A and B are shown apart, each in its own frame.
Chain A
Amino acid sequence: MIDAIRNLGSRGISSVWRAGAMARFFMLILANSGMSFRRFQLTIREIYFAGVMSLVIIMVSGLFIGMVLGLQGFETLQRYNAEETMGVLVALTLLRELGPVVTALLFASRAGSAITAEIGLMKATEQLKAMDMMAIDPMSRVVAPRFWAGAISMPVLAALFSSTGIFGGYLVAILLVGIDSGVFWSNLHAAVDFRYDVLNGIVKSVVFGVAISIIATFEGFDADPTAEGVARATTRTVVTSALTVLLLDLILTGFMLRGD
C-alpha cells in the first residue's frame, strides 16, 4: 500500500520533471535552429520521412472517416428531415475536431515514434557522441531539423486529412444518399466560417504539430542508450503525445468557443 503511494508520488515527480525538461529542451531547439533553415536541405529530408511517408495513412484514414461520418450523420439527420445538412456535419466535425486530433494521433504513432526511435538509436550506438566529438552539435544537426519537419508536416497533413474527409462525405452524400451536389455545397458555404472553423482548425494542427515534435525529439534524446531504452522511449512518445494532444484540444476548444 505504502509502496503504491510512494510509486504514485515518484511518478508524479518524474512527470513534472519531464514537463520541465521538455520546456527547456524546446528552448534549446529554438536556440539551435539556425542550421535547419540555413541548410534547408536537412529539414526537407526530414519532411520527407515525417510528412511524405505519412501521406498514405493520413489520406486513406481521412477518406474513410469522412465517409463514416457521412453515413452516421445521414442516419441521424434524416429523422429530422435535415439530411441536406449532412455535408455541414461532416465538414464542421472534421475542420474543428477530428481533422487536427485524429491526424495528430496518427502522426504521433507514425512519424513521432519513428523520430524517437531514430534519435534514440543514434544515441544508443554513440552516433550522437561521435558527432559531438566531430565538433558538430547534434542539437542543430539532428534534433532541430526533425523538430521543424514535424512542426511543418503536421498542419499540412491535417489539411489533407480534412479535405479528403470532406470529399469522402461528399461521395457518400452524392452517390449513396443522393443529395444534390449544389445543395451539398451551398449548405456548406452557409454554415462553414473561415475564421471560426477553418482557421481555428489550422491553429490546432500547428499547436499539435509543435507539441508532438517536441515530445518525439525529447524522448529520443533522453532515451536510455540501450535497445530496451529506445523501445520504452518510443512507447512513451506515443502515449505522451496522445494525452498531450487531447488535453491541448480541450484547452484550445475552450478558448475558441468562448469567442463565438
Chain B
Amino acid sequence: MDRKTIDLWVGIFMLMGIAALLWLSLRVGNLGEDRPSSTYAVEAKFTNIGGLKAKAPVKSAGVLVGRVSDILFDNDKFQAVVTLTLDGRYSFPKDSSASILTSGLLGEVYIGLEPGAEDKKLVQGDKVMLTQSAVVLERLIGQFMFGKAAEGDTAAAKK
C-alpha cells in the first residue's frame, strides 16, 4: 500500500469522524442551536412540580421560549423554586402565569407560560406570581375515587 494512499484514506476517515461528531453534537444533540444570544431569568414558585426536571422546555402558545435552568426547594415556605431562563427575543407581561403541563398522557413535562395583560414586562430577577402546580395523576385518581365513593354514599343515603 502506497504511503500517500494511506495518508489520504486516514485523512478522509478522520474528517468523516469529525463531521459525524459535529453532526451528532449540533444537529442531533442540539448544541449551539436554540441557544439564544441573550437570556433573562425569572423565578416561579410552585407547591408541586410533579415530574419537572432541569432543562425542561418553557413554552408559550406552543412555542419554545426558554428552559428550566434550576430547581430549588424553599425551606421557609416549603415550595419549589423554579428558575426559568427565557429567550431575550421574547418578552412577557409582568402578570403572566406559569403552569406545569404534560404533553399527552405520558409525554414530557414542560412549563406553559400564559401571557397576562399588564404593560410592564418581566425582566431579569422578576418573580412570576401566578403559578399552577403540576397535576399529580395519583392525586387525581384519588379524588376521582373519593368522589365516586361520596357519590355512592349520598346515593345510599337518599334511598
| A and B in direct contact, judged by CB atoms within 8 A | yes
A window 14-59: CB within 8 A of B:
41, 44-45, 47-48, 51-52, 55
Give A219 to B150 CA distance when docked, in angstroms: 74
Are A163 and B25 neighbours in the complex by a CB distance under 8 Å? no
Are A194 and B25 neighbours in the complex by a CB distance under 8 Å? yes
Minimum Cβ distance to chain A for residue B77 (Å)? 27
Contacts of A157 on B, CB cut-off 8 Å?
17
Contacts of B34 on A, CB cut-off 8 Å?
189
Contacts of B27 on A, CB cut-off 8 Å?
185
Beyond A47-B10, A52-B10, whether A91 also contacts B1 by CB under 8 A is no
Are B30 and A159 neighbours in the complex by a CB distance under 8 Å? no
Are A159 and B10 neighbours in the complex by a CB distance under 8 Å? no
Contacts of A159 on B, CB cut-off 8 Å?
17, 20-21, 24
Minimum Cβ distance to chain A for residue B74 (Å)? 23
B window 93-129: CB within 8 A of A:
104, 106-108
B30: which of A156, A189, A199 is its contact (CB, 8 Å)? A189
A window 177-211: CB within 8 A of B:
185, 188-194, 197-199, 202
Closest B-chain residue to A157, C-beta based? B17
Give A191 to B64 CA distance when docked, in angstroms: 13
Are A193 and B55 neighbours in the complex by a CB distance under 8 Å? yes
Give A192 to B26 CA distance when docked, in angstroms: 11
Contacts of B29 on A, CB cut-off 8 Å?
95, 192-194, 197-199
Report if A252 contacts B (CB, 8 A): no
Are A188 and B28 neighbours in the complex by a CB distance under 8 Å? yes
Minimum Cβ distance to chain A for residue B2 (Å)? 11
B24: which of A47, A52, A162, A191 is its contact (CB, 8 Å)? A162
A-B contact pairs, 16 of them (CB 8 A): A44-B6, A45-B3, A47-B13, A47-B14, A48-B1, A95-B29, A156-B13, A156-B17, A159-B17, A159-B21, A159-B24, A163-B20, A166-B24, A193-B30, A198-B29, A202-B21
The 3 A-B residue pairs with the shortest CB-CB distance in the complex, in nearest-first order:
A156-B17, A198-B29, A194-B29
B-side residues, CB < 8 A to A, are 1, 3, 6-7, 9-10, 12-14, 16-17, 20-21, 23-25, 27-31, 33-34, 55, 57, 64, 104, 106-108
A-side residues, CB < 8 A to B, are 41, 44-45, 47-48, 51-52, 55, 80-82, 91, 95, 153, 155-157, 159-160, 162-163, 166, 185, 188-194, 197-199, 202
Given contacts A192-B29, A198-B28, 14 further A-B contacts (CB under 8 A): A44-B7, A52-B9, A55-B16, A82-B106, A91-B28, A153-B13, A155-B17, A156-B21, A160-B16, A163-B24, A166-B24, A192-B28, A194-B29, A194-B30
